[in-house]
A = this chain, B = another copy of it.
Amino acid sequence: MKAPKDYRIGTIGSHSALQIFKGAHDEGFPTTAICRRGKESLYTKYYASLVDKSYVLGSYAEYPTIEKQLVKENTILVPHGSFVAHLGLELNSRIKAMYFGNKSILDWESDRFKQREWMEKAGLRLPRQFSDSEQIDRPVIVKMFGAAGGKGYFFCKDPEDFEEQKSKVAGHEYVIQEYIIGNTVYIHYFYSPLDNSLEIMSIDRRYETNVDSLGRMPLRNQRGMYIEPSFVVIGNSPLVLRESMLQEAYEMGERVVAASKKFAGPKGLFGPFCLETVVTPQLEFYLIEISARIVAGTNLFVEGSPYADLRYDVPMSTGRRIALEIKRAVRQERLEEVLG
């Protein structure tokens, strides 16, 4: 019977790769880093002890040149939040190496219209969307498609304000979304297809430049200065949620998983995912976005989180939880159930 040591866990050197490698080691898997030249030293030098083997490519487009070797080494690829962004949707869909997670969910995650449909199917509370800027009757946020890490977002108050700023999205697809005034809460889940059970792994809030620095400037100092607000994510801070809201957080996660099974085959969404929410003073969750993979906020919790610690006797990061799921699948000879 095969054991973890007969496989390798691999991913692209970025985003949450260190956590994934650490988790793989904790569960007994050797690791493989796929890096872009110039970006490899984090994995081959500073955290070399976490990386057993590395491939350094001139560009990620060269991925096919190493795939045969990855397959030969029984590498299971773990996609993370910037895995597809780096590899490209097309190349990602043609991966022949073993792949943790459901590849067909990606179309639904990356296309804002499909994602909206998914969220609606799940029956969660969503910000209103405006198909026509003339209809803007409340504060909105305009989001360019494919904007990564919060770049290309802007605030807008009314149709006139949109007119003034619309050059920012000229030539791009975008959505005009109601701006929900409330606190952001990012909930990290893990759905196990082996046990058919959902866990909340951890919760974070993002640290976005420059919007998270604006509050430190008093009114007096902002006056007369024109500061373009931006939402570029550069880090994350830990958070716990009011316990009386936690059951609803679980139920939201379950509905998102259940809805995914309607369009992405019986497997649906599994493994790690994140619901990006805003909570209003009326204690209502608004679902802003679904991330269908491990998110960077989990990097806070390499040695466990307040939620994982309630459930596990060992420090359980999301990276380690992935490796644990693969290990269980290997031992139960159900590996194909966690690959997609």
Which of A's residues lie within 8 Å of B, judged by CB? 14-19, 22, 39, 41-42, 46-47, 49-50, 82, 139, 149, 151, 155, 157, 181-185, 198, 200, 203, 205, 207-227, 229-230, 232-247, 250, 278-281, 283, 296, 299-304, 306, 309-311, 315
Return 22 A-B CB contacts under 8 Å, by A number.
A22-B309, A42-B243, A42-B250, A46-B250, A47-B310, A47-B311, A139-B221, A181-B210, A182-B209, A183-B210, A183-B213, A211-B217, A214-B216, A218-B229, A219-B227, A230-B281, A233-B242, A235-B241, A236-B240, A238-B238, A238-B300, A303-B309
With A218-B214, A304-B303, A306-B300 as given contacts, are A185 and B234 in contact (CB-CB < 8 Å)? yes
Who on chain B is nearest to A236 by CB? B240
The answer on a CB contact under 8 Å between A155 and B217 is yes
Measured CB to CB, the closest approach of chain B to A157, in angstroms, equals 7
Verify B234–A300 contact, CB threshold 8 A.
Answer: no
| CB <8 Å contact, B155 and A280 | no
**Are A240 and B203 touching (Cβ within 8 A)?**
no
Q: Quick check: A157 and B233 within 8 Å, CB to CB?
A: no
Q: Whole-angstrom distance from the CB of A334 to the nearest CB of chain B?
A: 23
CB distance from A55 to the nearest CB of B (A): 17
A242 to B296, alpha carbons, bound, how many Å? 7
A243: B residues at CB distance < 8 A: 14-18, 42, 296, 299
Cross-chain contact of A235 among B19, B181, B239 (Cβ < 8 A): B239
A283 touching B234 in the complex, CB below 8 Å, given contacts A182-B213, A243-B299: yes
Q: Are B281 and A210 within 8 A (Cβ)?
A: yes
Closest Cβ–Cβ distance, residue A254 to chain B (whole Å): 10
Give Cα A300 to B185, complex, Å.
Answer: 15
